[in-house]
Amino acid sequence: YYILVFDHGTDALFELFDMGPDYRARTKSSDFVVESHICYIREVVEGDFLQVASILLMHDNKRMHLFHHMYNGETGQLCATIELMTVHVDMVSRHSSFFLEETLLNLRNYIKDQATFRYPEQAGSVIGIKAR
């Protein structure tokens, strides 16, 4: 269910970019997650009040690099993080497609508005077991 919580966070973030359900219906396009990395830090249980904070780390003309933090809304403790790479997709052709200019402007403005955020320490982490 951690991923479901993060999915709702992504949906809310896309609403801020004006890329919600109306956008998807109007443009016949959507964004697909093509890579993700989740870190489970603290257990959450049913009934916990959770908050998701989202950062747009980077974007180009058809991809977004997103990062979400999940917090316990009562204690403020960090519970999990997820790093996502999404690609914009034309839902008719089922191929990647460029963002609209208005969308690119929204993404640029969001990055500008979050300029004071610190780059997450978990971003770009690699999974592996070091040989001894």
Overall pTM > 0.85: yes
> Most distant CA pair in the chain: distance in Å?
55
d(CA 125, CA 76): 23
For the stretch 7-29, pLDDT in tens is 999 999 999 999 999 999 999 99
d(CA 14, CA 107): 10
The answer to whether residues 12 and 54 touch, using CB atoms and an 8 Å cutoff, is yes
For the stretch 54-77, pLDDT in tens is 999 999 999 999 999 999 999 999
d(CA 5, CA 128): 26
Residue 80 Ramachandran class (φ > 0 left, ψ -120 to 50 alpha, else beta) = beta
